[in-house]
């Protein structure tokens, strides 16, 4: 599998380890300040990134068989 | 004390007690062997592992302490969310390598791996001691979570023995079924525990905001009560990020996490779990917000922030459901406490008892010692909570995280290369341990953030950076003077899980 897929695994680090990116009250969503819903959203996005890498790995190992 | 609440609570507690003992017969194995007792025969699949690892990492203390931090300090407490976001991509890459080499060589603990990799008794002992030291206060804090709930139910009397009796009874039951069933018990109980926790939290996020006028109002009310602390101050950025990063690096190298990891059937199970475990993080985000809900509901915690969640439940839920929620939290303490005591017992038995006292002991003796040690560890934690001030346990837990981080160079880097020299690793570890402990002490244990050149950062990360620097410099030196780096019993192919190479 192409190593490029692994870049996806770095995204959650960049997205969450710089609080200056998301430390604001607006825009709010369902009453949640941005600070909170942004990080909750990244729970899902991070899982999606890891999931994509998992599927990509599996496809490659299946293709090799 | 309310009768309905108590009956519901006791019913669920009794249910998991029965499950704990029945677990001995589940996926039958010879429980007089350590592999079977302490790792449940390494047979767990995706779903059971999800419950087991989740039950292990998201503990009763989390359910009590994270909202308590939000309740008291605001946005800072939310670092638990990025922390448990970034841990999984990291784990996806690193942990299958540990699993593969452990399976190949029959390693049961992290220290087994270190000993095999570096041919070093000293380094393995350092890891084992660090693990045991960090685990004891962690178990004690599970008891703190239980105590908050028992207190809210009015079960804990106010003085002397009666204050601690319910806790002692709950723990004695836990100790007995862990002794007989080993890792199978917390695995089975974790399933029930998580279903209960999910139900409780789902109810909380629908019922409580409806009663308090919606999330918008909750955030507004919390912001007013906390004087704007629901957002970070700019000088809080670095502490927030380093706490998240440091905690994430440490999480899977706690002995109990390694135990859960090594009990899985194959690396696929681990990788799938790296994808599925964030479901708990979503839950954790809402649990954290219970702290703000308690603010909005004007819960009076009487100076003890740990009571925020139990008292909030008492205030908003009917008695029967409060009983259910309390049972969920208490059972949520039993699962990790059981796994932690098993992990500490594995470490002691394999890497101290067998290594230094009885090198030739039989597998049966090994398992028997581990069972006894798991009992002793739990009694120790109990004495800790009953006999020592609570703040001391919390301080030690803070140190535990810092200490575990100091084992990251030998464990994580060791999974990829043997370039780090074993003697350099030992010295780096010692420097990191002393520096980390000193900085926490210099803070009077009030905070895990220490400012270096005006930048506040997690002490564990500062100590780890110094530790790494020492290891790198000394590795150059020791390689240059050709100091022996021991005989590595592993080979590069051992680290590649078979399902990847196949």
- At which residue do the structure tokens 């039989």 appear? B362
* The residue count for chain A: 65
Residue B44, classed as helix, strand or coil, is strand
For position B159, what pLDDT does the model report? 62
* Residue bearing the bigger pLDDT, B157 or B292: B292
Question: CB-based burial of residue B375 (10 Å sphere; 0-12 exposed, 13-18 middle, 19+ buried)?
Answer: middle
| pLDDT higher than 60, residue B501 | no
Give the three-state DSSP class for B479: helix
Confidence of residue B88 (pLDDT cuts 50, 70, 90): very high
Cα dihedral sign, B397-B398-B399-B402 = positive
Q: Which two tokens stand for residue A18?
A: 């710089």
Cis amide leading into A27 (omega within 30)? yes
In the DSSP assignment, the letter for residue A3 is: G
Question: Would you state the pLDDT for residue B157?
Answer: 61
The closest alpha carbon to B183, from B108, B277, B88, B254, belongs to: B108
ipTM above 0.90, yes or no: yes
Q: How far is CA B41 from CA B33, B175, B263, B375, in A?
A: 9, 20, 7, 21
Residues in chain A with CB shorter than 8 Å from the CB of B502 are 61, 64-65
Buried b (16+ CB within 10 A) or exposed e, B258-284: bbbbbbbbbbbbbbbbbbbbbbbbbbb
Assigned token pair, B28: 């039958």
Cα-based torsion angle of the residue sequence B277, B141, B67, B231 in order, rounded to the nearest 10 degrees: -90
Kindly report the nearest CA distance between residue B2 and chain A, in angstroms.
Answer: 35
Under a CB-based contact definition with an 8 Å cutoff, are residues B63 and B329 in contact?
yes
**Residue B382 — very low, low, confident or very high, per pLDDT cuts 50/70/90?**
confident
Q: What is the model's pLDDT at position A65?
A: 60
Task: Report which secondary-structure segment, H or E, holds B56.
Answer: helix B46-57
Q: Which of B173, B193, B235 is nearest to B457 (CA)?
A: B235
Average pLDDT, chain B: 88
Q: How far are the Cα atoms of B41, B72, B350, B353, B366 from residue B361, in angstroms, in the given order?
A: 20, 51, 10, 9, 7
- Chain B residues with CB under 8 Å of a chain A CB are 75, 78, 81-82, 85-86, 88-90, 92-93, 214-219, 230-232, 234, 236-237, 240-241, 244-245, 271-272, 274-276, 278-279, 281-282, 285, 289, 499-500, 502
The residues that bridge with B455 in the sheet, in sequence order, are B452
Q: B331: pLDDT confidence band, cut at 50, 70 and 90?
A: confident
Region B105-122: mean pLDDT is 93
Percent of chain B with pLDDT strictly greater than 70? 96
Cα(B337)–Cα(B60) distance, rounded to whole angstroms? Answer: 10
Tell me the CA end-to-end span of chain A in Å, nearest whole number: 13
Neighbours of A20 (CB within 10 A): 10
Q: Please state the rounded mean pLDDT for residues B267-275.
A: 90
Calculate how close chain B gets to A39, using CA atoms only, in Å: 7
> A34: which chain B residues are within 8 Å (Cβ-Cβ)?
none
Residue appearing with tokens 């190992």: A61
How close is the nearest chain A Cα to the Cα of B461, in Å?
A: 14
Q: What is the pTM of this model?
A: 0.89
**Local confidence band at A50 (pLDDT 50, 70, 90 cut-offs):** very high
With an 8 Å Cβ cutoff, are B502 and A61 in contact? yes
The DSSP call for residue B231 is S
**Distance of alpha carbon B297 from alpha carbon B65, whole angstroms:** 18
Q: Coil, helix or strand for B468?
A: helix
Contact yes or no for B189/B334 (Cβ under 8 A): yes
Q: CA B441 from chain center: how many Å?
A: 23
Return d(Cα B238, Cα B248) in angstroms, integer: 15
Nearest Cβ partner for B285 among A30, A40, A65: A40
A19 touches chain B (CB under 8 A): yes
Residue B306 tokens, joined: 């740990």
Are B85 and A35 an interchain contact pair (Cβ–Cβ within 8 Å)? Answer: no
């Amino acid at each position: 599998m192409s190593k490029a897929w692994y870049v996806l695994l770095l995204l959650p680090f960049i997205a969450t380890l710089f609080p200056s990116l998301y430390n604001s009250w607006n825009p709010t969503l369902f009453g949640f300040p941005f600070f909170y819903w942004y990080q909750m959203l990244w729970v899902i996005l991070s899982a999606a990134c890891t999931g994509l890498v998992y599927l990509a790995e599996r496809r490659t190992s299946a293709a090799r068989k | 004390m309310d009768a309905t609440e108590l009956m519901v609570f006791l019913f669920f507690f009794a249910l998991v007690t029965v499950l704990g003992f029945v677990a001995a017969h589940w996926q039958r194995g010879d429980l007089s062997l350590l592999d079977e007792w302490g790792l449940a025969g390494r047979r767990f699949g995706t779903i059971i592992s999800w419950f087991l690892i989740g039950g292990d990492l998201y503990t009763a203390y989390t359910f009590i302490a994270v909202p308590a931090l939000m309740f008291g300090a605001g946005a800072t407490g939310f670092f638990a969310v990025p922390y448990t976001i970034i841990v999984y991509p990291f784990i996806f890459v690193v942990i299958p390598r540990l699993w593969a080499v452990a399976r190949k060589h029959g390693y049961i603990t992290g220290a087994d791996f270190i000993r095999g990799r570096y041919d070093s008794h000293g380094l393995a002992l350092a890891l084992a001691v660090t693990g045991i030291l960090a685990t004891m206060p962690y178990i004690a804090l599970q008891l703190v979570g239980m105590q908050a709930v028992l207190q809210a139910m009015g079960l804990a009397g106010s003085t002397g023995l009666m204050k601690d009796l319910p806790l002692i009874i709950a723990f004695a039951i836990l100790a007995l079924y862990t002794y007989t069933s080993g890792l199978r018990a917390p695995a089975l109980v974790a399933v029930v525990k998580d279903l209960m926790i999910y139900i409780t939290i789902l109810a909380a996020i629908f019922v409580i905001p409806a009663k308090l006028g919606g999330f918008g109002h909750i955030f507004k009310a919390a912001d007013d009560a906390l004087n704007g602390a629901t957002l970070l101050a700019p000088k809080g950025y670095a502490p927030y990020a380093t706490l998240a990063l440091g905690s994430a690096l440490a999480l899977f190298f706690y002995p109990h996490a390694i135990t859960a990891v090594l009990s899985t059937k194959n690396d696929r199970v681990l990788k799938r779990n790296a994808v599925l475990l964030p479901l708990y993080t979503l839950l954790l985000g809402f649990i954290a917000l219970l702290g703000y809900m308690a603010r909005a509901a004007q819960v009076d915690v009487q100076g003890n922030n740990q009571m925020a969640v139990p008292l909030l439940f008492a205030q908003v839920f009917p008695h029967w459901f409060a009983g259910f929620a309390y049972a969920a939290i208490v059972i949520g303490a039993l699962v990790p406490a059981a796994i932690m005591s098993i992990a500490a017992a594995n470490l002691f038995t394999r890497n101290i008892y067998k290594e230094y006292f009885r090198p030739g002991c039989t597998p049966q003796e090994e398992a028997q010692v581990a069972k006894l040690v798991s009992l002793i560890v739990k009694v120790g934690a109990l004495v800790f909570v009953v006999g020592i001030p609570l703040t001391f346990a919390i301080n030690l837990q803070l140190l535990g995280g810092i200490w575990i981080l100091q084992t990251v160079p030998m464990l994580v880097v060791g999974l990829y290369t043997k370039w780090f020299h074993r003697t350099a690793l030992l010295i780096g570890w010692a420097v990191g341990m002393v520096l980390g402990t000193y900085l926490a002490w210099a803070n009077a244990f009030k905070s895990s953030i220490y400012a270096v050149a005006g930048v506040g950062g997690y002490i564990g990360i500062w100590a780890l950076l110094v530790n790494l620097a020492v290891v790198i410099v000394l590795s150059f030196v020791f390689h240059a003077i050709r100091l022996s780096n021991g005989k590595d019993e592993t080979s590069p192919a051992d680290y590649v899980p078979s399902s990847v190479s196949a």
